[in-house]
Structure formats: structure tokens, C-alpha cells
Structure 1
């Protein structure tokens, strides 16, 4: 509820901003809104479904969110074409805020499910293991091997997304593609990423999280290789790389969240998921910065090579650090 209340000013600030500062402020509020609301939907679904179906539940949650991002981009693009850039496209956000706040008011809290899970959990919190935010953040970021492996994989995965937004349009336009073709390439990636998480999330419940995490990171690395290897036919290179990146991300995303929830005790699971999502989502910003620095220093091709090497290395670290243990519950 707090997240949706914070989000109320966002569409109005974007619809008629008197200065650039209003745009910046709206993005700050939007970030807080997303951090609170989306994180809680992840926690609530994990609370509700239990260990056996966490991959499917998180896959559905992430697919719903990222598919909505794509659909909203299409709708606002149409509205901008028909009515101009402001204020109509931004005001669709009013509908989202009202709907989100209304749902937050009527949805049931899942605290009782966590309490039940804790009462039936076979393993108590080990003596001396702190459940505070600081201790859990350190445990998720570094001390616990599997959680460390998931955090670094999540960061690199989203670094790829930030990097492709900066590099791919320039790379493919330099090789003769127009805006429509570049838009197709960039659209395929999130569509496959979003919709693909439903079957991959379910698959992670069946075969385990680690195989999908490792294979997904290596598939993304292959996507970067394809982008360069087939540049003589840039449209084919772009489409195949987007397919590989989208499918690789779909393999990784729900499996990583389910893996973190499986390795975290219910007493500190929400804190662990928050720490993991911090590292994962900061990858967007890191990717944008890395893309700019490397492209300026080494060129676009070298930046894509560096992304492939980094992603493959992340997959190997995931294979080394992440175990397939799941918390009983």
C-alpha cells in the first residue's frame, strides 16, 4: 500500500512537468514504488505456494510484470502518435495507480502463511545466526556460497540488459539497419524474456534451479557471440542474438529467485530476497555505465566481446557456488 501511495504523483509529474527536476523526482518516486510493490508480490507468492511450486509462481509473477511493460510500451507509443507526447500517454499511469492501490487494499496479507511455515519448518534458525537486515545482506551478498552465486548471476544478467540497450542500437545501425529493424530486435528480447518465464519457472520446479541458471547464463553469452559472428547479415545477427538473450534470461530469472528462497530460512527469507533483488536490479545501472565506458574506450565490438566473456564467467561461477539444496517447508 505504501508503494502505491508513493506512486500517485508519478503520472501527473510526467504529464506536465514545469522543469527537468520534476522528471527526476518522478523517477525517484517510481523507483520507490517499484521497489516496494514488486518486491512484496514476489515475497507474497513465495509465502503462498510453498517450495515445490516456487519456480512456477515466480515465473508467473515476473512474466506478468515484464509482459505488462511491453504492452504498456506499445499502448503509450500508439497514444503518443495519436495525441502527442503529453499528457495523454502519461495519464494512463493514473489507471495503473488506481488499480494497484485498490488491489492492495483488498488483497490478503501473507504473514500468517509465513508463521505457519515457520511453525512446521524442520530446521530451526541455527544458534548465533542473525536474522537482521545487515546480517542477511552480508550473508546473501558473500558469506553463503549459493546466495553469493545467485546475487552475482542476477547482477550480470541485468547488466546485460542495460548494456544491450546502450550498445545494440548503435551496433546494428552502424551496420545498416533502420529504426524499425532495431525496434524489432529490442522488442524480441523482453517479449521472450517475459513470456518464457512461465515454462522455465515450472521446469525449474521439476529439474532444479542450478541447471537453468548455468545454462541460461551461457545461452546469454552465446547471444553476444552471435551478434558479432553474423554481423555480415545484421538483421539475422540481431534477431538470433535477441532470441538467445531473451530465452537465456527467461531461464535464469525465476530460477534465481526460487533458488534464493530455497536457500534462505523463512525467518530471514524476505531480507534475503530484498538483498538479492538489490544486486540484481542495480545491474541495470551498472550495465549502462559499463557500456558507455567500454564503448568509448574500446569500441562497440569489444564491448560485446567483454559482455560475452563476463556472462560466461558468471555462469561458471554459478556452477561453482550454487548448490541444489532446497529448504524444506
Structure 2
């Protein structure tokens, strides 16, 4: 039976394409909140504190991080497709909760569900694509996967900003979420096939030794994996700050919801489209160099935000930030896949994604507290400095050989 199974992007293009489409819907669920949430918090619930507003990102980040870990642990036992379907079932009530929420606690609860949804669905599609393609096109595969997800984040972020300006921040922007979750679920049930059998094929020919303890090695001991993991955490730390504080900063500069939507959408859109190219680059160029320059570019762009406040300047900074993130995002996953045994890959990616998405919560807490005490500009510069330090860790700690 396994004799008919072949690894490769070309060999499995139809199933791969379905997973790309599914991941676009996964990204769309996050895009719902990307532009309008600070205004939603103040108008609907009178929540004005930066830390309180960012609490929805903390809830999302912690829940998604923990779910990522367990998705990696359970992928071989329960099956990738089953986890994907469970993730979509959890997404179904989210837009209805946001539309009908009477207190901010309901919004937090919706974001806990969103974190579980994203951990199960995004992690499953990542692992399934890696299973299908084998070693040769792994970076390109991750580039396409992350492109689909983050391009959808950008598109839906723009649409919600546009709808909010035309019809108000609730309920109309959240109607998008109903369609996204229903279609995502139906696609996953009808068209997606589980990929565990592909792992068995790759396992038979692998030269990569097993890690003694996947969690400890990925987090601390293995120089390559731990360097990648800290960069992943910092990448989402700064993304959590951008998600929560950039709209607040733009509101203080008297930008309209539509203009905020455009600037907020440029970053994930460039990030998304850029990964079509940077993913392919990760198959040919030094992953270490791509990670170093990507993190450095992000840090410099973030530090520039408080000093350049004209629309076209902020739009340009958002594009540079998107490019820096595009350099690292598919490279993270491709590099981890290169240095882990196929049977441990899902778990190692789960550990990486645990720490990476805890970055959302850590970034939101740090930037929220600094913004409340010292001001938004100080919070932004602090996160920029942390991001630059992360690039230096990559340069010093991560071995250059074979990666």
C-alpha cells in the first residue's frame, strides 16, 4: 500500500493545494480582529487601558501556544485531519460571541476559543504540508503555507476596517467570521486526507538521529533549535505589540479606521506575499543568514515607527516589517524540519510554536505595561531593541554548518 505513496510537492499538488486554501481560511479568522479591536473595546465596553485592551491578545497567545504544543504531541496519535476538524468546530461560535458579547469577559472567552482554533488548525496544516513534500521543497512549501495564511490575515484586516468605517465596528465585520468558519470546516471534512502514512515513508530513509528529550532540546539544549525558538518567540512578541498598539498609536494620530486598516493590512500582506519567495530561498540559501537579517530588519523597522508618522512613511515601515518577517517565518519551520527526525518533527514544531506564540502574550503584557506607564512610543522602541538583540543571538548561537 505504501509503495504508491511518493513524497514531493509536484507528486501531491492537489492535496497540497487544498491545505493551502484551508490555511487561508485559518488566517482569515485572525484577520477579523486585526484592525478594529481597540476601537471595538473602547466603543462597546469602555475599555481604555492599553493593558486591558491587550488582554485579548494575551488570552489568544497563551491558549494558542499551549494548543500548539498538544497538537504536536497528539498529531501521530489522533491524526492530523481529526485535529484540523476539531479546530474548525471550535471556531464556529466565535463570531456569534463577538456579535452578542455583553461584557469584555465574553470577548476574552472568544479569544481563548480563537487561540485553540488557531493552534489546532494552523499547526495541523503546517505538519501535513511538511509530511507531503519531503526534504527537497520544504522551505517553498512553508512559504506557500504561510503566504496563504498571512495574506488572508491582511485581506480580512482591510475588509473589517472598511466595513467598520461604513457600517460600524459591530456586528457587520464579524459576519465574515461566520462564513470563514463554516467553509473552512466543510473543506476540511470533505477534501482533506490525513498524512501520517507519508511520515512512515520518510522515516525509512532518514539519517537524522532522534532527540533524547524533544521539549528540552528544542527549548534549551540544541543550539540550532533553541536559537530558532527564541527568535520565534521574539518575532511574535513584536507582532503582539503591532497587533495591539499600532492601531492605538494611529488613533492618537487621528487616522481614520479605513487608513488604520490599510496600514495594518500592509504588514501581514507583504509578510504573506514575501513568503512565496523567501520560502523558496530557504531551500537554497543559508537559513541562519536569512533568520539574522530578517530579525534585524524587523527590529530596525519597529524602532522607526514613533519617529515617522506621515501615512506613506508608516506604510513603508509596515512593508519593511513585513519583509523582515517574511524572511524568517517559513525559514523557522523549514530549519526545524531539517534537523529533527520525521517521527519527532510534529512534536518539535509543536514545542517551537508553543514558545513562539507565547510571544504574543509576553509582547502584549510588556508593551501594554510600558505604554500605560511611559507611553506608546516607549513601548514600541523597547520591542524594537528586543528584536535586534534576538538577531544577535541567532548570529552568535546558531551553528552555520548544514543550516
- Secondary structure (helix, strand or coil) at the match of 1:122 reads coil
Single out whichever of 33-42 and 186-195 deviates more from structure 2: 186-195
**Equivalent position of 1:150 in the other structure:** 228
In structure 1, what is the equivalent of residue 35 of structure 2?
Answer: none
The answer to whether structure 1 residue 45 and structure 2 residue 129 are counterparts is yes
Q: Is the 8 A contact 1:172 1:234 kept in 2?
A: no
| Structure 1 residues 43-87: Cα deviation after superposition (integer angstroms, max 9, x where no partner) | 011111112211111111111111112222333444455655554
1:271-316 per-position Cα deviation (integer Å, ceiling 9, x unaligned): 1101111111121121111112223444444333322321111001
Q: 2:356 aligns with which of 273, 280, 302?
A: 280
Please say if 1:160 is aligned against 2:238: yes
| 1:170 Cα offset (Å) | 5.0
**Structure 2: how far apart are the matches of 1:210 and 1:139?**
18
Corresponding residue of 2:178: 94
Give the Å deviation of 1:181: 4.7
- Corresponding residue SS for 2:136: helix
Deviates more, 1:266-275 or 1:187-196: 187-196
TM-score by length of 2: 0.72
**2: distance between equivalents of 1:195 and 1:320?**
30
Alpha-carbon distance between aligned partners in 1 of 2:119 and 2:171, rounded to the nearest angstrom = 25
**Does structure 2 retain, via aligned residues, the 8 Å contact 1:51–1:326?**
no
Name the CA shift for 1:326/1:274 in 2 (closer, same or farther; >3 Å). Answer: farther
Counterpart of 2:345 in structure 1 is: 269
Q: State the distance in 1 between where 2:261 and 2:365 align.
A: 22
State the shift of 1:20 in Å.
4.3
Give per-residue Cα distances to partners, 1:72-114, cap 9 Å, x unaligned.
2333444455655554433332322222222222311110110
Residue 207 (structure 2) pairs with residue 122 (structure 1): yes
TM-score by length of 1: 0.86
Distance 1:74 1:184, change over 3 A: closer
Correspondence for 1:109: 194
Q: 1:137 to 1:78 in 2, by over 3 A?
A: same
Q: Retained in 1: the 8 A contact 2:94–2:113? A: yes
* Residue ranges of structure 1 left out of the alignment (5+ in a row): none
Tell me if structure 2 keeps the 8 A contact 1:160–1:307: yes
- Alpha-carbon separation, structure 2, partners of 1:168 and 1:74: 14
State whether residues 223 and 240 of structure 1, in contact with CA within 8 Å, keep that contact through their aligned partners in structure 2: no
Correspondences of 1:1-329 after superposition (within 5 Å): 1-17=85-101, 19-80=103-164, 85-105=169-189, 106-125=191-210, 129-130=211-212, 135-171=213-249, 176=253, 178-179=255-256, 181-228=259-306, 230-231=307-308, 234-324=310-400
Equivalent in the alignment of 2:4: none
Are the counterparts in 2 of residues 15 and 90 from structure 1 also a CA contact under 8 Å? Answer: yes
Q: Is the 8 A contact 2:233 2:358 kept in 1?
A: yes
1:263–1:326 Cα contact (<8 Å) kept: no
How many matched pairs?
A: 317
